[in-house]
Amino acid sequence: MTSIATNVPSALDLSHHINTRSRSRHPSPLKDILQFMAYEGMISLSGGLPHPSLFPIRQLSFTALNSSGKSGELIEIELSDKKEDQDPLAKFLQYGNCKGNDTLRNWCLDFTANILRPAYNDFEVLLHPGNTNAWSKVVALLCEEGEHILCEAVTYPSAQALWIPEGYFAAPVAMDGQGIRDDALEDVLSTWEETHPGKRRPHVLYLVSVGSNPSGVTMGAERRKKIYDLAVKYGKYLRALDFIIVEDDPYFFIQFPDYEINAKTVAAMVSNEEFVTSLAPSFLHFDFQGRVIRLDSFSKTLAPGMRLGYFVANPIFIERLLRATEVETQDPSGPSQAIVLSLLEKWTMGGYLEWLQNLRLQYMRRRDCMIDAFSQHFQLVPAAKSGIPDAFGIVAFLLHSDGQGTTPIFSFVPPSGGMFIWVNFYLSKNPRFKQLQADSSIADPEDKFSGELWRQWIDAKVLLVPGWYYHPWQGEDKKSTKARAATPETSNFRFSYSMPSEEEIQQGVERFASVVKHSWEL
Amino acid sequence: MTSIATNVPSALDLSHHINTRSRSRHPSPLKDILQFMAYEGMISLSGGLPHPSLFPIRQLSFTALNSSGKSGELIEIELSDKKEDQDPLAKFLQYGNCKGNDTLRNWCLDFTANILRPAYNDFEVLLHPGNTNAWSKVVALLCEEGEHILCEAVTYPSAQALWIPEGYFAAPVAMDGQGIRDDALEDVLSTWEETHPGKRRPHVLYLVSVGSNPSGVTMGAERRKKIYDLAVKYGKYLRALDFIIVEDDPYFFIQFPDYEINAKTVAAMVSNEEFVTSLAPSFLHFDFQGRVIRLDSFSKTLAPGMRLGYFVANPIFIERLLRATEVETQDPSGPSQAIVLSLLEKWTMGGYLEWLQNLRLQYMRRRDCMIDAFSQHFQLVPAAKSGIPDAFGIVAFLLHSDGQGTTPIFSFVPPSGGMFIWVNFYLSKNPRFKQLQADSSIADPEDKFSGELWRQWIDAKVLLVPGWYYHPWQGEDKKSTKARAATPETSNFRFSYSMPSEEEIQQGVERFASVVKHSWEL
């Protein structure tokens, strides 16, 4: 069933990236004893497991949408201890071996091999209880206190909230409409000794490369290849200065066609093959050395409450992650594993791809609805034709009240994946901002203005997420707009289109636009 | 519903126990935004949650034993989004607030208040995905690298496997038939500066005080009170030298009447009140300052695969544990929470107590079966009448083949809780051991002999857990029997009676005894 490519190499030994703490983990001695339990005729008086006859749950069943996603079409799935064709329910209710259920793990391995097609042959899968936990285990695997983690110029706050108390710092890399720029990354690495004297060169790159949170951008194949080549290049010429790419990828299958202004594209289902081919590939697809740790999750594709996902990585990293799993979490929830496995088996792999196609079209419609709503209140112009230097995607202008000329208000990259639109405001023409800028007692006018604007939206009953939530943590001395070397006279906010209805999106954008008009006095 | 005692004090501020890393955790900024979402009429374009209409699972149902535990009597429970009298299913499938479902959390709080009756009034509950994860969060809350953790003289290996790579050491405390001795604990604390010059005095006591793993012993009320008083005494007279008690208590409700040699006690159900009163109380019951962190779990009472349990602790600790939960795990599995909550609600609290009573009787029968099997092959004598100094519980003798006299082979404390019997062998009369002892080239004859004996049992197809798995980690230089200051000429093994059938127990003990007879040449 699995189509692991046979013409690709095995992983390199990249164990020099593993930190002291992780190296010193030993397998639990109790796990050693398992080999003897398997001896024929052995009577084990060793295990401390509760007896399954004393588990109260005897049968579990659920109703689910079929893989077409149509609301009327339901399927029934039942798990018990009687059925011969599946793992019995009691197995999911008992302690596991910390790797996760074998059948489900193999399903994820097959799926990865067939759909993501890694460029090495001995990658492994380990289940985990969600990408939040997975990232915490990766940090505990690779990072040493005081070191810097390479990340996007705006990065996911919960990932950062983990690393700040551990004593790590962000090493942000400049982005464009495809995320991290390879030239900027090489620049950070090649000038590291001068820019950060005495600090260890970063060896971990953390990124959300599809529908990034918050930037909303998706990285194309070519850019991925260039970044992967950098990781290898540094490994090849500079001993142990290579880096590991941690791909936190919950939105991978929520990729969709580009937004075209006023195009009113009708989303259509295509063949699964066409769907898979249309997706920007995972970093794994370029990974011929085993230096990508992929964090995969069912949170966005099935349900977050499952708290279920999986690592894909080389065997050396997976073994150390398993050691951490044994003492930190053990297996993910049994009911979650049972439900997800039996649903995937019922749907089949083709059905799951059909489900994912439909899912991404649903989110695409929501994206289109939000950008269409922008176009009701602003004049949207492709960045290339906007005359605004360094703008990516689309620039939104407001017409002057006298009809004479326009003012650029914000720009954004229309997402081709995920759930977010990251809006970059141009403040230089805003009267209130100019007033704050002229006041020498105000240290960070961009920050102050953004706070005021945010509260004005709240007063108008529309809630956005302020851009400052996503600033990479570089230490107490690098918090202001200037100290962060952020572009002056700009400010960012994040929009999300995943939860509101079409009506709410339209009304919310109307409130948003009306505050903007008032603030810019246009 | 909750009967929190009103005549008891509030928790002290014990924040001096929180370590640097935990202190530096900030609430995720994204959580701050929640307050604005609640504004009337607010349109939120801020949340990044997937849309619940895109969750495939629409209805979940299960069949369970009723609270009597009788195998024929089943109940059906259904969860959907339509029922008015419960949290909708979609709520369990969505991201939570990291505290766990409110209804379930309140259930656990009520249960703790009513059954465990803490001696302070502002204790709080936080759900977690199992005690393994809970302990890892507590270590990350309280401990600083290089410090010592007070623990039982033989301790749970998985708890230790976590702390060794983090750079902590065990400070083991001598035990008797009730677990840690208060006089030994005071001795460790009062002589700390002399015995461990330059090392921080331990401030965390980790213990499994009911049916301890591996020792099988349960600590009575009086001992608990004395140990609690020590924690307070050190806080009162010596500033910031008090300690925190971490009560890892998965077997709390699996407490049963003492074993009586040849008594053939028939286990009987009693009233729930009588049942609860019969249990050794939790440390919480003596905790009038909020210095106990209790790790509670449904693993042994419902099913380990649920990966669900809860902390009970003072508000300051719970708040910091919540900060860690936000970045390390988020909520426990939604399906697990949904199943456990709906089962507990269906059973009612009284029904759950009935279930627990039945459960403990099942394990009691298994305990009795194993000790009865011992009595088939050995002469069991109460320690007090055995003439063996320092023996606790029961001593097992073998009759000499000539019928003239007996040799003491092992002793054990018949467990009054949990799943384990911890057997302490007397090696001084064993010919092979004497041979090893006489060989000056053998550094640790106890260790070598134990390894040989263990392999002989494996060859005879009976598997026990060697005692060395449970030795507290005190550093590389304290591994041998001598260096650990362990009792010479003794050796330990752990028996478990939770999984094997009665027949397997009888046959396993027979194999065990036959190897012993051969080894002791009796």
* pLDDT tens per residue across span B309-322: 999 999 999 999 99
Say yes or no to pLDDT of A34 above 60: yes
Vertex B519, ends B513 and B522: CA angle to 5°? 75
Give the distance from CA A288 to its chain's centroid: 22
A332–B307 CB contact, under 8 Å = yes
- pLDDT band for A307, please (50, 70, 90 cuts): very high
Q: Say whether the peptide bond before residue B214 is cis (omega within 30 degrees of 0).
A: yes
In chain A, the percentage of residues whose pLDDT exceeds 90 is: 81
**For A232-239, what is the mean pLDDT?**
64
Quick one: CATH architecture of A15-80+101-256+264-361?
3-Layer(aba) Sandwich (3.40)
The domain B59-361 having CATH identifier 3.40.640.10: the answer here is yes
Cα B318 to Cα B313: distance, rounded to the nearest angstrom: 6
Q: Select A378-520's CATH number: 1.10.10, 2.30.30, 3.30.70, 3.90.1150.
A: 3.90.1150
Contact A502, A436 (CB under 8 A): no
The neighbouring-strand residues paired with B204 are B244
Give the residue among A373, A460, A384 at the shortest CA–CA distance from A421.
Answer: A373
Interface of B with A in 366-395 (CB under 8 A): 366, 370
What DSSP designation does A113 have?
I
Nearest CA in chain B to A506: B43
Residue type at position B463: L
Q: Which of A30-39, A178-187, B42-51, B140-149 has the least mean pLDDT?
A: A30-39
Q: Cβ contacts (< 8 Å) between A25 and chain B: which residues?
A: 161, 165
Question: Any CB–CB contact under 8 A between A44 and chain B?
Answer: yes
| E strand or H helix at B457 | helix B445-459
pLDDT at A137 over 50: yes
**Checking DSSP bridges between strand B43-44 and strand B204-207, what pairing results, if any?**
unpaired
The 3-state DSSP class for residue B417 equals strand
Q: Whose structure tokens read 């459960």?
A: B359
Judge whether A244 and A142 are in contact, CB under 8 Å: yes
Q: Do B326 and A158 touch (CB under 8 A)?
A: yes
Name chain B contacts of A302, Cβ cutoff 8 Å: 55-57
For residue B89, give the nearest of B344, B352, B348, B342 by alpha carbon. B342
Q: Is the pLDDT of residue B286 over 50?
A: yes
B72 CB contacts (<8 Å, ≥6 apart)?
none
Average pLDDT over residues A163-191: 94
In this prediction, residue A235 has a pLDDT band, given cuts at 50, 70 and 90, of low
More confidently predicted of B34 and B284: B284
Stretch 186-245 of chain B: residues touching chain A, C-beta under 8 Å: 213
CA-CA distance, B220 to B177, in Å (whole number)? 10
Q: What is B289-353 written as a DSSP string? A: SS-EEEEEESTTTT-GGG--EEEEE-HHHHHHHHHHHHHHT-SPPHHHHHHHHHHHHHHHHHHHH
Instruction: Please indicate whether residue A267 or residue B394 has the higher confidence score (pLDDT).
Output: B394
Domain A15-80+101-256+264-361 identical in fold to domain A378-520: no
Put simply, whether B307 touches A (Cβ < 8 Å) is yes
Interface-testing mutation among A34, A82, A327, with chain B (most B C-beta atoms within 10 A): A327
pLDDT tens digit sequence for A8-20: 999 999 999 999 9
Given a cut of 50, whether residue A346 has pLDDT beyond it is yes
- Give the tens place of pLDDT for each residue, A453-508: 999 999 999 999 999 999 998 888 888 889 888 899 999 999 999 999 999 999 99
pLDDT score, position A246: 98
**Is A273 a residue whose pLDDT tops 80?**
yes
User: Is the per-residue pLDDT at B409 higher than 50?
Assistant: yes
Tell me which residues of chain B, numbers 462 to 491, contact chain A at a CB-CB cutoff of 8 Å.
462-465, 469
**Domain coordinates of chain A in residue numbers?**
15-80+101-256+264-361, 378-520
Residues in A closer than 8 angstroms to B213, CB to CB, are 48
Strands (E), A154-235: 169-173, 175-176, 179-180, 204-207
Residue in A36, A62, A302 nearest the CB of B458: A36
Determine the pLDDT at residue A237: 47
Task: Return the closest-CA partner of residue A292 out of A281, A302, A301, A303.
Answer: A281
Rounded distance, CA B266 to CA B500, Å? 21
Degrees (nearest 5) of the Cα angle B292, B293, B297?
Answer: 130
Query: Which among B54, B164, B327 is the nearest to A362, CB-wise?
Result: B54
Q: Are B277 and B115 in contact (CB under 8 A)?
A: no
State phi, psi for A224 to the nearest 5 degrees.
-60, -45
Q: Is the pLDDT of residue B61 over 70?
A: yes
Pairing of strands B204-207, B244-248: parallel
d(CA B156, CA B207): 9
Helix (H) or strand (E) holding B355: helix B334-377
Chain A residues touching B49 at Cβ < 8 A: 304, 498-499
Across the interface, whether the CB atoms of B463 and A327 are under 8 A apart is answered no
Q: Indicate yes or no: CB of A463 within 8 angstroms of CB of B29.
A: no
To the nearest whole Å, the CA of B345 is away from the closest chain A CA by 14
Q: Which residues of A touch B302 (CB under 8 A)?
A: 55-57
Q: Tell me the mean pLDDT in the region B495-522.
A: 97
**CB A136 within 8 Å of CB A115:** no
Tell me if B462 and A45 make a contact (CB, 8 A cut-off). yes
- Chain A environment of B303 (Cβ under 8 Å): 50, 55-57, 93-94, 334
Q: How many CB pairs under 8 A join A and B?
A: 341
Q: Do B161 and A25 touch (CB under 8 A)?
A: yes
CA distance B329 to chain A (A): 5
Q: How confident is the model at residue B237 (pLDDT cuts 50, 70, 90)?
A: very low
CATH number listed for the domain at residues B366-520: 3.90.1150.10
Q: Which of A94, A133, A305 sits opposite B334 (nearest CB)?
A: A305
Q: What is the mean pLDDT of residues B173-177?
A: 96
Residue range A384-428, pLDDT digits in tens: 999 998 899 999 999 998 888 999 999 999 999 999 999 999 999
Which DSSP symbol is given to B81?
S
Tell me whether residues B63 and A65 touch, CB distance under 8 A.
no
Closest chain B C-alpha to A191 CA, distance in angstroms: 31
**Which one is predicted more confidently, B480 or A126?**
A126
**How high is the pLDDT of residue B236?**
53
B446-498 pLDDT, tens digit each: 999 999 999 999 999 999 999 999 999 888 888 888 988 889 999 999 999 99
Tell me how close the Cα of A499 comes to any Cα of chain B, in angstroms.
5
Distance CA A352, CA A340 (A): 11
Is the distance from CB of B466 to CB of B436 less than 8 angstroms?
no
Confidence of residue B401 (pLDDT cuts 50, 70, 90): confident
Nearest neighbour of B500 by CB, restricted to A45, A329, A332: A45
Question: What span, in angstroms and rounded, lies between the C-alpha atoms of A272 and A275?
Answer: 5
B328-383 residue pLDDT tens: 999 999 999 999 999 999 999 999 999 999 999 999 999 999 999 999 999 999 99
Cβ–Cβ < 8 Å for A251, A298? no
Q: Which residue is closest to A508 within chain B, CA to CA?
A: B43
Closest by CA to B426, choosing from B520, B522, B521, is: B520
CB hemisphere CA count around A245 (13 angstroms): 29
Strands, sheet with B204-207, edge to edge from the N-terminal-most edge strand:
B124-128, B309-313, B292-297, B244-248, B204-207, B148-152, B169-173
* Mean of pLDDT values over B84-109: 92
Residues in A touching B496 (Cβ below 8 Å): 45-48
Q: How far is B19 from chain A (nearest CA, A)?
A: 11
Instruction: Flag whether residue A300 sits within 8 Å of chain B, measured between CB atoms.
Output: yes
pLDDT digits (tens, 9 = 90+) for B187-211: 999 999 999 999 999 999 999 999 9
Whose structure tokens read 């996911």?
A156
Residue A239 in this model has a pLDDT that exceeds 60: no
3-state DSSP assignment of residue B286? helix
SS3 content of chain A, % helix, strand, coil (to 5): 40, 20, 40
CA distance A4 to chain B (A): 30
Least confident of A76-85, B204-213, B297-306: A76-85
- Test the A interface: residue of B26, B39, B45, B497 with most A CBs within 10 Å: B45
Q: How many residues does chain A have?
A: 522
Q: B500, A327: Cβ pair inside 8 Å?
A: no
What is the rounded distance in angstroms from the CA atom of residue A124 to the CA atom of residue A313? 6
In this predicted structure, the answer to whether residue A241 has a pLDDT above a threshold of 80 is no
The pLDDT score that the predictor gives to residue A4 is 63
C-alpha distance across the termini of chain B, in Å: 62
The Cα of A415 is separated from the nearest Cα of chain B by a number of Å equal to 14
Q: How far is A262 from chain B (nearest CA, A)?
A: 22
| Chain B: closest CA distance from residue A300 (Å) | 6
Q: In this predicted structure, what is the pLDDT of residue A80?
A: 86
Write out the two tokens for A239: 């001993």
Q: Would you place residue A1 in the very low, low, confident or very high pLDDT band (cuts 50, 70, 90)?
A: very low
Cβ–Cβ contacts within 10 Å for residue B240, how many? 11
The predicted model gives B142-157 an average pLDDT of: 94
For the segment A111-137, the average pLDDT, to the nearest whole number, is: 97
Handedness of CA A117, A118, A119, A121 (dihedral sign): negative
Residue A373 has pLDDT above 50, yes or no: yes
- The CA distance from B521 to the nearest CA of chain A, in Å, is 24
Q: Is A43's CB within 8 Å of B507's CB?
A: yes
Helix (H, G, I), strand (E, B) or coil at B134: helix
Longest dimension (CA), chain B: 92
Residue of A36, A157, A331 lying closest to B29 (CB–CB): A157
- Name the pLDDT band for A85 (thresholds 50, 70, 90): low
